[in-house]
């Protein structure tokens, strides 16, 4: 650090200018901080947040984006997001740190902007050419008509050369590997229409299709843009979920000092401190500290595991009670978490076997259109012997049959349906997820973290006397263990008063103990108080030398879980539950929810095998799961849903992410997906009907540019309106 960090680098000798002063450079470099603000909703919030942040020392500039419910802050280098979150909480707004690296503008944003530009150019050119065409249709003749045609050509050719590039590129891509896709007839129609129109114009002909070529480009680009927007919204929401997990860890130096570093910077042999509530960033071995570990995201087990020095831990486990120091044995790509994720990549994906409705339509449509157009060219050439007439008719057939409405049919419906589901709290990540969801007849649920909320619920409060409960409450209040917190909540709700307990001390990994009326009282693990650990989650209370008694817990149901299972069963779907948890725990929950078919103790491989087997029997399986042990199954299933609380790997593997705590949107989404697929089919039918009317006219040589323009616009608008009925 230089002695005058704020003085401008005025140097007398040139050498000093050339020498970089690292101290000053550090000072100049600003930090970018991103915060998620889920509760802001009005202009008052914007002003309050921006004023509050800008008043904070070190903040250079803060700007709120209300659409994304986010604040972007440029601040001095020593300012951290953790300094600003209390400021916002003081103002009454909930704030979470986002990883700005995950949120930077990606190639996808640029692609969207490019598409919008092309759409704008096509729209501008279409409007002008249409206006010129109106005068031609209303009877301009001779030199005036030629003039209008030439001006139209002057606008249409550069506009199409710019705007229709996505179609040209995609058509070339398909043709160069010897395939046909929807873009091949589109490109052919646009190019052929331009060529015949130019030829007609140069011969002072009556009909030119410049307006049709542009309208085609415009409507098809609109379909592409809608499609892109839907996926961009889903992508940005998914990126926000990923950005919420800022990958940081606390590294201990040899002298015991703590430094906060990015997880990516950790290396094998580093000492890492994991505080209670934190997630293991690396695989490793416990060096010091005692605690309990929650492995439910990895294995589905709800019983916490006791951790002491020497125990091997893997990335993704959650530390519950005491701080643990870990020596890293595997980091980054080598952790078991990543190895599991790699396994998932190998598992055959259910969605890769699915052909989308649009592709199926294109497979029928593209060859049909080409054959029809070629036949009308050959027929007219043989009958009239005039290449010009035959080419004109062939172009008219291509333009009329061009899949304008088909190009809009799917994107318009998926946009409307995804928007509707997004408002209900579901994020559709995959383009064909809705179509696949509509076909589902079997639903497989994971237990821990999916049907249950992952928070324990006390079941046998009434087995204890008031006095015992008072002691238990006093002990529970000293701990932040999930079981203790649940016990405290239940006891306080019953109006229990905490008893007088002295010398309360928490023994991380074991429980809490204290002195009550001269007797030692303990609340904690079975082995610690000298009891036998059963199969159910329990905390044991020992008073003096009395036999210890157990507080038993079950996992609380996720809100809407029971209703969802019921609604799915009523809709005639077969509901299964597969869990890695123990048999009694799974059976209890299955009985509670009325699920007859359940599997306990399932390993990740068992889940995949069962789902693949169901798929081979012809069932379309929807998998709902959150853990790492579910990821392979999520991928193997026909379609998959994971809650936002799931591990990143599980969210990536699934097609749909459930944003809220509530599960009830799942049943509704199946219904919405069915309706969306029906709309898509209706749209295809509408487009077919238009073609059935217009194609004979075109083949007979009666299709004027006016008829082409009318048929095209009318079918595109009908299709879009039909899609909007879903909202």
Sole binder of other proteins in the list 17, 117, 387, 724 (CB under 8 A): 117
Q: Where are the alpha helices (DSSP H) in 164-209?
A: 165-176, 183-202
Bridge pairing between strands 291-294 and 258-262: unpaired
Q: Cα 209 to the chain's mean position, in Å?
A: 43
Side by side, which strands form the sheet with 621-624?
426-428, 656-658, 639-643, 621-624, 442-445, 574-578, 597-599
134 lies in the site for other proteins, by CB under 8 A: no
127 lies in the site for other proteins, by CB under 8 A: yes
Q: Which is nearer to other proteins, 32 or 275 (CB)?
A: 32
Q: Which is nearer to other proteins, 38 or 173 (CB)?
A: 38
Interface stretch with other proteins, choices 118-126, 194-202, 208-216, 711-719 (CB under 8 A): 118-126
* Least distance from other proteins to the Cβ atom of residue 214, Å: 13
Interface stretch with other proteins, choices 3-11, 93-101, 110-118, 633-641 (CB under 8 A): 110-118
209 contact partners, CB below 8 Å, separation of at least 6:
193, 194, 196, 197, 395, 396, 399, 705, 708
Interface stretch with other proteins, choices 41-49, 539-547, 567-575, 670-678 (CB under 8 A): 41-49
Cβ atoms within 10 Å, residue 158 = 12
Residues within window 528-557 making contact with other proteins, judged by CB under 8 A? none
Q: Cα 658 to the chain's mean position, in Å?
A: 9
Q: Which is nearer to other proteins, 43 or 267 (CB)?
A: 43
Under 8 Å between Cβ of 498 and 518: no
* Least distance from other proteins to the Cβ atom of residue 144, Å: 7
Q: Which is nearer to other proteins, 59 or 719 (CB)?
A: 59
- The residue among 714, 699, 589, 637 whose CA lies nearest residue 430 is 637
Q: Give CA angle at 508 (502, 509), nearest 5°.
A: 125
- Secondary structure element (H or E) that encloses residue 376, with its range: helix 357-384
Q: Which is nearer to other proteins, 147 or 345 (CB)?
A: 147
111 lies in the site for other proteins, by CB under 8 A: no
Side by side, which strands form the sheet with 502-507?
452-458, 549-557, 538-543, 519-524, 511-516, 502-507
Please enumerate, as own/partner, the contacts of 191-199 that have beta carbons within 8 Å and a separation of 24 or more. Answer: 192/391, 192/394, 192/395, 192/398, 193/395, 193/398, 193/399, 194/156, 194/157, 194/160, 195/395, 196/391, 196/392, 196/395, 197/149, 197/153, 197/156, 197/395, 198/153, 199/388, 199/391
Size of site (CB under 8 A) for other proteins: 23
Q: Where are the alpha helices (DSSP H) in 477-536?
A: 482-493, 526-529
| Helix, strand, coil percentages in the chain from 3-state DSSP, rounded to 5 | 55, 20, 30
Which backbone phi and psi does 396 adopt, to 5 degrees? Answer: -60, -40
- Local structure of residue 448 (DSSP, 8 states): I
128 lies in the site for other proteins, by CB under 8 A: yes
64 lies in the site for other proteins, by CB under 8 A: yes
120 lies in the site for other proteins, by CB under 8 A: yes
Locate the DSSP E strands across 558-658.
Answer: 574-578, 597-599, 621-624, 639-643, 656-658
Active site residue 446: yes
Interface stretch with other proteins, choices 39-47, 95-103, 281-289, 425-433 (CB under 8 A): 39-47
Q: Which is nearer to other proteins, 236 or 569 (CB)?
A: 236
Q: Give CA angle at 444 (621, 433), nearest 5°.
A: 45
User: Residues 237-256: x/- map of binding to other proteins (CB under 8 A)?
Assistant: --------------------
Sole binder of other proteins in the list 116, 261, 305, 714 (CB under 8 A): 116
* Least distance from other proteins to the Cβ atom of residue 58, Å: 17
147 lies in the site for other proteins, by CB under 8 A: yes
Q: Which is nearer to other proteins, 64 or 483 (CB)?
A: 64
- The residue among 510, 441, 416, 356 whose CA lies nearest residue 226 is 416
Interface stretch with other proteins, choices 58-66, 213-221, 268-276, 319-327 (CB under 8 A): 58-66
Sole binder of other proteins in the list 32, 60, 110, 113 (CB under 8 A): 113
User: Residues 154-183: x/- map of binding to other proteins (CB under 8 A)?
Assistant: -x----------------------------
* Least distance from other proteins to the Cβ atom of residue 120, Å: 5
Q: Which is nearer to other proteins, 125 or 406 (CB)?
A: 125
Interface stretch with other proteins, choices 121-129, 314-322, 666-674, 700-708 (CB under 8 A): 121-129
Q: Which is nearer to other proteins, 214 or 637 (CB)?
A: 214
Sole binder of other proteins in the list 47, 202, 466, 685 (CB under 8 A): 47
Sole binder of other proteins in the list 3, 7, 67, 617 (CB under 8 A): 67
Interface stretch with other proteins, choices 26-34, 147-155, 479-487, 611-619 (CB under 8 A): 147-155
Under 8 Å between Cβ of 297 and 446: no
Which backbone phi and psi does 121 adopt, to 5 degrees? Answer: -65, -45
Under 8 Å between Cβ of 115 and 166: yes
* Least distance from other proteins to the Cβ atom of residue 96, Å: 19
Q: Which is nearer to other proteins, 47 or 517 (CB)?
A: 47
91 lies in the site for other proteins, by CB under 8 A: no
Q: Is 578 helix (H, G, I), strand (E, B) or coil?
A: strand
Under 8 Å between Cβ of 540 and 514: no
Number of helices (H), then strands (E), in the chain: 26, 26
Sole binder of other proteins in the list 11, 131, 364, 375 (CB under 8 A): 131
68 lies in the site for other proteins, by CB under 8 A: yes
Which position among 446, 468, 581, 655 bears the catalytic label? 446
Under 8 Å between Cβ of 648 and 102: no
Residues lying near other proteins in the complex (CB under 8 A): 42-43, 46-47, 51, 64-68, 113, 116-117, 120-121, 124, 127-128, 131, 144, 147, 151, 155
Residues labelled catalytic: 446
């Amino acid at each position: 650090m230089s002695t005058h960090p704020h003085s401008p680098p005025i140097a007398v000798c040139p050498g000093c200018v050339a020498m970089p002063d690292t101290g000053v450079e550090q000072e100049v470099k600003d930090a970018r901080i991103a915060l998620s603000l889920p509760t802001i909703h009005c202009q008052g919030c914007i002003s309050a947040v921006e004023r509050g942040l800008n008043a904070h020392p070190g903040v250079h500039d803060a700007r709120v984006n209300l659409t994304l419910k986010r604040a972007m802050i440029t601040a001095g280098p020593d300012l951290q997001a953790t300094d600003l979150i209390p400021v916002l909480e003081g103002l009454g707004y909930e704030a979470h740190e986002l990883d700005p690296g995950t949120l930077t503008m990606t190639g996808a944003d640029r692609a969207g902007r490019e598409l919008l530009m092309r759409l704008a150019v096509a729209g501008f050119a279409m409007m002008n050419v249409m206006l010129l065409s109106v005068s031609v249709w209303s009877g301009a003749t001779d030199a005036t008509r030629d003039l209008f045609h030439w001006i139209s050509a002057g606008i249409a050719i550069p506009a199409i050369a710019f705007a229709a590039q996505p179609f040209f590129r995609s058509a070339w891509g398909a043709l160069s590997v010897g395939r046909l896709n929807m873009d091949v007839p589109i490109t052919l129609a646009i190019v052929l229409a331009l060529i015949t129109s130019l030829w007609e114009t140069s011969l002072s002909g009556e009909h030119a299709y410049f307006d049709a070529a542009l309208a085609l480009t415009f409507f098809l680009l609109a379909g592409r843009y809608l499609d892109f927007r839907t996926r961009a919204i889903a992508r940005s929401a998914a990126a926000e979920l990923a950005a919420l997990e800022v990958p940081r860890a606390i590294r201990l130096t040899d002298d015991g000092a703590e430094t906060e570093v990015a997880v990516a910077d950790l290396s094998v042999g580093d000492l890492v401190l994991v505080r209670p509530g934190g997630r293991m960033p690396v695989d490793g071995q416990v060096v010091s500290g005692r605690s309990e570990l929650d492995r439910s995201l990895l294995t589905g087990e709800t019983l916490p595991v006791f951790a002491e020095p020497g125990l091997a831990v893997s990335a993704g486990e959650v530390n519950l009670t005491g701080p643990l120091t870990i020596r890293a044995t595997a980091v980054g790509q080598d952790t078991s978490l990543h190895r599991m994720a790699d396994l998932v990549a190998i598992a055959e994906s259910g969605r890769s076997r699915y052909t989308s409705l649009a592709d199926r339509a294109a497979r029928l449509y593209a060859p049909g259109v080409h054959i029809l157009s070629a036949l009308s060219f050959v027929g007219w050439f043989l009958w009239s012997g005039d290449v010009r007439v035959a080419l004109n008719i062939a172009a008219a057939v291509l333009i009329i049959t061009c899949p304008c409405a088909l190009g809009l049919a799917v994107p318009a419906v998926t946009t409307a349906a995804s928007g509707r589901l997004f408002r209900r709290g579901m994020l559709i990540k995959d383009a064909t997820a809705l179509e696949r969801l509509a076909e589902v007849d079997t639903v497989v649920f994971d237990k821990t973290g999916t049907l249950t909320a992952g928070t324990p619920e006390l079941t046998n409060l009434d087995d204890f006397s008031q006095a015992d409960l008072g002691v238990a409450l006093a002990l529970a209040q000293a701990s932040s263990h999930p079981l203790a917190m649940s016990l405290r909540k239940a006891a306080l709700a019953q109006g229990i008063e905490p008893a007088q307990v002295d010398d309360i001390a928490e023994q991380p990994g074991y429980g809490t103990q204290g002195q009550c009326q001269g007797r030692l009282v303990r609340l904690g693990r079975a082995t610690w108080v000298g009891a036998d650990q059963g199969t159910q989650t329990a905390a044991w209370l020992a008073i003096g030398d009395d036999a210890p008694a157990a507080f038993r817990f079950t996992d609380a149901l996720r809100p809407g879980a029971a209703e969802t299972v019921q609604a799915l069963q009523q809709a005639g779907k077969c509901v299964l539950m597969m869990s890695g948890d123990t048999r009694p725990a799974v059976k209890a929950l299955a009985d509670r929810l009325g699920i007859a078919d359940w599997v306990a103790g399932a390993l990740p491989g068992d889940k995949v095998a069962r789902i693949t087997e169901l798929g081979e029997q012809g069932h379309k399986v929807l998998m709902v799961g959150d853990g790492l042990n579910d990821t392979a199954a999520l991928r193997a299933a026909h379609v998959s849903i994971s809650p936002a609380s799931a591990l990143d790997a599980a969210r990536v593997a699934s097609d749909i992410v459930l944003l809220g705590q509530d599960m009830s949107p799942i049943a509704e989404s199946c219904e919405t997906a069915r309706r969306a697929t029906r709309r898509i089919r209706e749209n295809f039918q509408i487009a077919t009907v238009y073609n059935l009317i217009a194609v004979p006219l075109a083949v007979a040589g009666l299709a004027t540019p006016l008829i082409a323009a009318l048929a095209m616009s009318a079918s595109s608008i009908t299709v879009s309106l039909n899609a909007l009925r879903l909202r």
